Amino acid sequence: MGVIRRRFFVPRPKFKSYAELNAWLEDRCRDYAKANRHPEMRDRTIWEVFEEERPSLVPYVGPFDGFHAVPASVSELAPNSTGHLGLTKEA
């Protein structure tokens, strides 16, 4: 992440909206990919490798909600998810 931060965000650019930031960043990333060699396939640019791989990529279908909240309560006398009470037996 440090390389990306230094490459695109130093000095820190200012934007009026996330849409403006995203458009600017997309342009910078595309320009970088077209102008720089792939780190493993030195005879090709990052963009050329990306274009070749593009048909294999999963298509974007919209925002991904990777967070799922489930209401729960805890009781010292109720079994936990393993079925145990979680209390220690006194000797």
Type of residue at 2: G
pTM score of the predicted model? 0.60
User: Quick one: average pLDDT of 47-74?
Assistant: 87
pLDDT of 11-59, one tens digit each? 889 999 999 999 999 999 999 999 999 999 999 999 999 999 999 999 9
Does residue 5 contact residue 12 with C-beta atoms inside 8 Å? no
pLDDT higher than 70, residue 80: no
Residues near 87 by beta carbon (within 8 Å), at least 6 away in sequence: 76, 77
Q: Nearest 5°: phi and psi at 45? A: -85, 165
- Looking at residue 91, its pLDDT comes to 46
